[in-house]
Amino acid sequence: MTLRGIFYPYFVSSVMGLLLKISDVWKSFGNVVANEGVSMEVRSGEIVSLLGPNGAGKTTLVMQIYGELKPDKGKISLLGKSPTDSLVKRRMGVIPQECSPYSDLSVWDNVYYAGRLKGVKGHVLRTTAETLLQRLGLWEKRNSLADELSGGMRRKLLIGMALINQPDFVVLDEPTVGLDPSSRREVWDLLQELRKEGKGILLTTHYLDEAEKLSDRIYFLNRKVIYAGTPAEIKEKFSDWYEVVDYSTGKSIRVRGTR
């Protein structure tokens, strides 16, 4: 077999699998630099976390990925196109940080109309909505108003709304903040199932344990990428940092270890 024969399949699969490529992205608000020369990638079938403290520039970066903000400098390629391309929007699912379902619509209608907005129609829309609500444990609540759901259920409903178009790439900005441990676990399980289906997932989190348990790769962001690696590499690098999470409030504090 020729060298080309050996490397070509790898080359093709790696290029085909590349969903998101960010190259040297800068973004400022006045004189506040939120993102400084950020480069990163997400491939299909992997969960990638942006881990960083408050104000680290995570939301600013993901807003540029879903086309809500424009980089001052640098390039973002999503599914081989610009994030603002209409085709990209149809193949992407987004849960922004500050976001809630329409409180005066039912669970079913929230998912249904999210699908209509993304161009999903008819039988496919109804079947996908039912499958998602069953899977998220919200089927029994389909006729309840979103307002009547618990915080965890509302978060899961947002996930359903983001997945209604069966996206290839999903962005979740702090998907588990404020959730109790069992709801958190359910969201994690769902994200792992999506990974198995070959979707690419990018999430932001403050929680080191969440990033470690879920991710194939972690970008430790604080304005710029401080460190990128697998969870094992990050753990090794930051092994003397501990994070204490108060699950009742969702607040976390970072403390220096003693070793």
Ligand X SMILES: Nc1ncnc2c1ncn2[C@@H]1O[C@H](COP(=O)(O)OP(=O)(O)OP(=O)(O)O)[C@@H](O)[C@H]1O
> 165 or 252: whose CB is closer to ligand X?
252
Q: Whose Cβ is closer to ligand X: residue 69's or residue 133's?
A: 69
- Whole-number Cα distances in Å, 230 to 33, 87, 135, 193, 219: 27, 31, 29, 20, 9
Binding test (CB under 6 A) with ligand X, winner from 56, 161, 179, 203: 56
Provide the strand spans (E) within 87-212: 92-95, 169-173, 200-205
CB 62, CB 202: distance < 8 Å: yes
222 makes contact with Mg ion (CB under 5 A):
no
| Given 49, 60, 176, 215, the residue binding ligand X (CB under 6 A) | 60
Stretch that binds Mg ion, among 97-105, 150-158, 163-171, 228-236 (CB under 5 A): 97-105
* Contacts to Mg ion from residues 98-127, by CB under 5 A: none
Q: How far apart are CB 55 and ligand X at their closest, in Å?
A: 4
Run of H or E including 119: none
Among 13, 15, 55, 143, binds ligand X (CB under 6 A): 55
User: Distance between CA atoms of 154 and 111, rounded to whole angstroms?
Assistant: 12
Would you count residue 29 as binding ligand X (CB under 6 A)? Answer: yes
Of positions 6, 15, 32, 99, contacts ligand X by CB under 6 A = 32
The reply on whether position 54 binds ligand X by CB under 6 A is yes
Identity at 249, one-letter amino acid code: T
Q: Of the candidates 76, 47, 22, 30, which has an alpha carbon nearest to the alpha carbon of residue 225?
A: 22
Among positions 113-172, residues that touch ligand X (CB under 6 A) are none
* First-last CA distance in the chain: 52
Cα–Cα distance, 114 to 36 (Å, whole number): 34
Nearest Cα neighbor of 62 from 153, 151, 210, 162 is 162
Residue in 173, 78, 159, 167 with CA at minimum distance from that of residue 118: 167
Report the residue from 23, 77, 82, 97 that binds ligand X according to the rule CB under 6 A.
Answer: 97
Count the site residues for Mg ion by CB under 5 A.
3
| 199 vs 206, beta carbon nearer ligand X | 206
Total of chain residues touching ligand X, rule CB under 6 A:
13
29 binds, among ligand X, Mg ion, none (CB under 5 to 8 A by kind): ligand X
Q: Is beta strand 241-246 parallel, antiparallel or unpaired with respect to 251-256?
A: antiparallel
Interface residue with Mg ion, options 59, 183, 215, 252 (CB under 5 A)? 59
Residues near ligand X (CB under 6 A) are: 29, 32, 34, 52, 54-60, 97, 206
